[in-house]
């Protein structure tokens, strides 16, 4: 009887340990936000699938890329009326420390400010987020304003290399007019 109990507990512990080590879901193909911002006029008013870092601050939600170092490269993030999200990605957002950034892939409409700016931070760009496709906690402590912590400066250095599939993806698959 005692040996059965030991085997039973060993099976339970191995199941719990195995569940914690499940592999992360890879990010779907998306344009890096810095690429979008470098050609902002080309994407203005278009629905795009984009990857960047989400950060919530007291004045609102912002989206940026690790390679976009200046203040002008922050994007105001606003939820669309028809917003929807992937269940696993939404769980990542709900269960995180809200002071920590999140690496995300979203689908939304990109807009350049024509008169004035967007949000309380007065950003020059905005994405109206239609769908949250993927999210995972951001690993780097590097800040978009150039005040870096000890973390890497790019998603690639943070262990997020662009996949071969993403590199081969035709630009038209990421943009909807």
What are the domain boundaries of the chain? 26-176
pTM reported for the whole predicted model: 0.67
Per-residue pLDDT of the chain (177 residues; tens, 9 = 90+): 555 555 555 555 444 444 444 557 899 999 999 999 999 999 999 999 999 999 988 878 889 998 876 657 899 999 999 999 999 999 999 998 888 999 999 999 999 999 999 998 899 999 999 999 999 998 764 444 444 333 333 333 333 333 333 332 333 344 444
Token code pair at residue 52: 């960047």
CA angle 44, 67, 143 (to 5 degrees): 110
122-127 own/partner pairs: CB under 8 Å, 24+ apart: 123/62, 123/74, 123/75, 123/76, 124/72, 125/37, 125/40, 125/74, 125/75, 125/76, 126/75, 126/76, 126/77, 126/78, 127/48, 127/50, 127/63, 127/75, 127/76, 127/77, 127/78
With a CB cutoff of 8 Å and minimum separation 6, the contacts of 94 are none
Which of 31, 25, 121, 40 minimizes the C-alpha distance to 76? 121
């Amino acid at each position: 009887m005692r040996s059965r109990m030991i085997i039973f507990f060993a099976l339970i512990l191995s199941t719990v340990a195995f569940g914690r080590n499940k592999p992360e879901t890879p990010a779907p193909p998306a344009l890096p936000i810095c690429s979008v911002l470098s050609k902002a006029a080309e994407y203005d008013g278009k629905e795009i699938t984009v990857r960047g870092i989400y950060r919530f601050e007291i004045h609102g939600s912002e989206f940026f890329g690790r390679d976009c170092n200046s203040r002008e490269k922050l994007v105001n993030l606003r939820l669309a009326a028809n917003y929807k999200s992937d269940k696993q990605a939404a769980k990542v957002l709900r269960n995180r420390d809200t002071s920590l950034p999140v690496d995300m892939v979203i689908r939304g409409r990109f807009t350049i400010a024509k008169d004035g700016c967007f949000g309380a931070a007065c950003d020059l760009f905005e994405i109206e987020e239609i769908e949250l496709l993927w999210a995972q906690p951001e690993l780097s402590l590097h800040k978009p304003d150039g005040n870096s912590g000890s973390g890497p400066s790019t998603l690639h250095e943070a262990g997020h290399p662009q996949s071969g599939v993403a590199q081969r993806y035709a630009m038209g698959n990421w943009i909807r007019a």
